[in-house]
């Protein structure tokens, strides 16, 4: 009997992981979801989620409360944990007899608690790509802490930085995806057998988790290291350049910079609505917009009195309709530098994107977020969301992985030859 396609979705937002997995296979079932927007009285994203998935056991409380009260908040068994979590400072501190403790309020540690509570065979996470290089003063430390946490829990890990536009989607949205799997799974055993007959470069390129759905052509740089320190030592001392793809097996890390095999992307023009209402147009006073979008060289002085010049390049104004969109931010549609401004093909006038156009840029159905939330928050949700089509592709790979798993993952350890 193959493994049940059961899912726990953390930081669920408006359901991007859920939608992508369901598109890959209707057998995927989210058995538990959590969505909580701190410091907000109205929980609009949660309300959107339950509007679309009313039968899912979805909790609208701080995940820390769930982890701190396991008897009160029972969670069904699941085989895949998914979620997009914030990029924060993941440092740890010594706490005497209690060992180490993660920085308060950092949600990675809540993911780790969930994995300690239910050692799900597989994990798929999403984050901004700067996670690999943070913090600025100790490059690579935060990602190494995450990898070491997985290592200590008995997982191997593969990661890939993916720009959605490289693989045919209409938005230049770059994120790092982290796939982890227990060292007791059939998948682990099969991957080790492959690695023992291939170089790591060929493995990442041809046989890794991301290889089939997100093909690459050239490996242009390689780094490797041993991650054999404890988490406290990593927090205090570790520095390493993680590249845009890689694997960790036991304590061995191999990371590589790849060149994607590009697919022709959808363009911004292809997602546009027709007959757009007047409220989306800019009007005739464009001076502020032209200044924000233009190149700048501004003299400034730091707190210490150091004088310097702040510079930023120009952004296309209006945005080119025959290219993919730039990355949407949570401030989309507001009067700021990052907001998309287009020349409407029907009226030849400048306007911002509609909420439906933003939903299309992330691959959601039209009016997915039109569930009673304020119009501005619909933009906020899309600025936080992931590109659903990427998860659909990963779901296709997960279909095959789960079809080769059973409910019993208690295999013996397999020797690893990574030379």
Residues involved in catalysis? 87
**Which H/E stretch holds residue 122?**
strand 122-128
Q: How far apart are CA 298 and CA 396, in angstroms?
A: 49
Joined tokens for residue 97:
């007899």
Helix %, strand %, coil % of the chain (to 5): 30, 25, 45
CB 350 within 8 A of CB 342: yes
Measure the CA dihedral 198/249/238/242, to 10°.
50
Q: How far apart are CA 96 and CA 26, in angstroms?
A: 49
In the block, residue with structure tokens 């304020």:
374
- The CA angle 85-9-37, to the nearest 5 degrees, is 55
CB 157 within 8 A of CB 188: no
Q: Is 195 exposed, middle or buried (0-12, 13-18, 19+ CB in 10 A)?
A: buried
Strands (E), 242-384: 245-249, 252-260, 296-301, 307-312, 341-343, 350-352
């Amino acid at each position: 009997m193959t493994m049940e396609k059961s899912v726990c979705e953390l930081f669920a937002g408006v359901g991007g992981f859920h939608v992508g997995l369901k598109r890959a296979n209707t057998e995927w079932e989210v058995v538990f979801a959590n969505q909580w927007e701190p410091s907000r009285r109205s929980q609009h994203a949660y309300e959107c989620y339950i509007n679309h998935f009313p039968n899912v056991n979805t909790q609208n409380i701080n995940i820390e409360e769930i982890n701190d009260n396991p008897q009160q908040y029972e969670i069904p068994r699941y085989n895949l944990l998914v979620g997009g979590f914030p990029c924060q400072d993941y440092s740890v501190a010594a706490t005497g007899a209690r060992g180490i403790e993660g920085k308060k309020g950092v949600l990675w540690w809540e993911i780790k608690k969930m994995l300690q509570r239910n050692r799900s065979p597989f994990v798929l996470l999403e984050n901004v790509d700067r996670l690999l290089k943070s913090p600025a003063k100790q490059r690579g430390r935060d990602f190494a802490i995450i990898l070491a946490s997985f290592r200590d829990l008995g997982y191997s890990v593969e990661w890939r930085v993916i720009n959605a536009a490289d693989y045919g989607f209409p938005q230049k949205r770059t994120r790092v995806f982290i796939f982890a799997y227990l060292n007791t799974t059939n998948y682990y055993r099969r991957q080790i057998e492959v690695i023992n007959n291939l170089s790591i470069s060929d493995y990442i390129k041809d046989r890794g988790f991301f290889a089939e759905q997100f093909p690459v052509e050239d490996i242009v740089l390689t780094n490797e290291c041993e991650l054999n320190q404890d988490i406290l030592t990593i927090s205090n001392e570790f520095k390493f350049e993680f590249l845009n793809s890689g694997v960790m097996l036991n304590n061995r890390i191999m990371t590589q910079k790849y060149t994607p095999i590009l697919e022709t992307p959808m363009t911004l023009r292809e997602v546009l609505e027709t007959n757009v209402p007047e409220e989306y147009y800019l009007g005739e006073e464009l001076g502020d917009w032209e200044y924000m979008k233009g190149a700048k060289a501004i003299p400034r002085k730091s707190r210490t009195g150091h004088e310097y010049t702040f510079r930023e390049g120009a952004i296309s104004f209006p945005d080119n309709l025959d290219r993919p969109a730039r990355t949407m931010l949570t401030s989309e549609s507001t009067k700021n530098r990052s907001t998309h401004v287009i020349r409407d093909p029907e009226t030849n006038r400048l306007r911002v994107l509609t909420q439906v156009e933003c939903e299309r840029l992330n691959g959601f159905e039209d009016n997915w977020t039109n569930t009673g939330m304020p119009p501005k928050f619909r933009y906020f949700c899309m600025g936080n969301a992931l590109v659903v089509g990427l998860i659909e592709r990963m779901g296709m790979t997960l279909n095959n992985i789960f079809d080769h798993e059973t409910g019993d993952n208690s295999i013996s350890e397999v020797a690893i030859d990574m030379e």
